[in-house]
A and B are shown apart, each in its own frame.
Chain A
């Protein structure tokens, strides 16, 4: 199994600012995934991050709003740019190992 940590665990940010969320995995993985989970809702895939290439974004999500870095096989960052209250959500990173998907503890973001 994979152990995933995320920083920060939570933050309160002002609209118009940006927040970078870090995700660290305890083993090397090819793909890392970023999800958003709004309060009481399901998980929505934002993008898939492969090391050495640009992230692949799902419909409704764009690189300018959610830039992603993947500098090596154990680390990724997701930036939420120019935030608005609608971006208030839990952001989770995830990895796929042996066809099991493991999730980080999430970053709870509140935009005021």
Chain B
């Protein structure tokens, strides 16, 4: 069945450092979505990428969708303590399949 793999599982950075999480699908996706879940909270939608090679930015966050529509990345520039949480990618094929998430911790 369709699988979405996400790495790394955990990442700790010093405030101000950059952070990247990667997402790979076993099948071609119609779109990919990214979510952020704060500790104790529920997933919150960040963005959806649809087009091959698409790049979108939200302030310090940069999202990319691969040319083959099978991989994606989220890059955060100059992390802040407010960035802590778990970042999930979710690939849309026949159903929305979530990756295992990358948990980001930031120390000041």
B48-A100 in contact (CB<8A):
yes
- Give the interface size class of chain B: 10 to 19
Question: What is the chain A residue whose CB lies nearest that of B47?
Answer: A100
C-alpha spacing A100/B45, complex, angstroms: 7
B residues adjacent to A (C-beta < 8 A): 1, 31, 33, 35, 41-45, 48, 88, 90, 95-101
**Interface status of A42 (Cβ within 8 A of chain B):** yes
Which of A11-19, A21-29, A102-110 forms part of the interface with chain B?
A102-110
B42-A103 in contact (CB<8A):
yes
A42-B48 in contact (CB<8A):
no
Q: A59-B1, A99-B31, A101-B33 are in contact. Are A45 and B95 (CB under 8 A)?
A: yes
Chain A residues whose C-beta falls within 8 Å of the C-beta of B44 in the assembled complex: 103
**Interface status of A54 (Cβ within 8 A of chain B):** no
Tally of A-B Cβ pairs under 8 angstroms: 39
Q: A99-B48, A100-B45, A103-B44 are in contact. Are A42 and B88 (CB under 8 A)?
A: yes
A42-B95 in contact (CB<8A):
no
**Chain A 39-76, CB within 8 Å of chain B: the 1/0 string?**
00111110010000000001100000000000000000
**Interface status of A92 (Cβ within 8 A of chain B):** yes
Question: What is the chain A residue whose CB lies nearest that of B99?
Answer: A42
The one of A42, A45, A99, A105 in contact with B42, judged by C-beta atoms closer than 8 angstroms, is A105
Shortest beta-carbon distance from B88 to chain A in Å: 6
Q: A99-B48, A103-B43, A106-B42 are in contact. Are A58 and B95 (CB under 8 A)?
A: yes
B42-A92 in contact (CB<8A):
yes
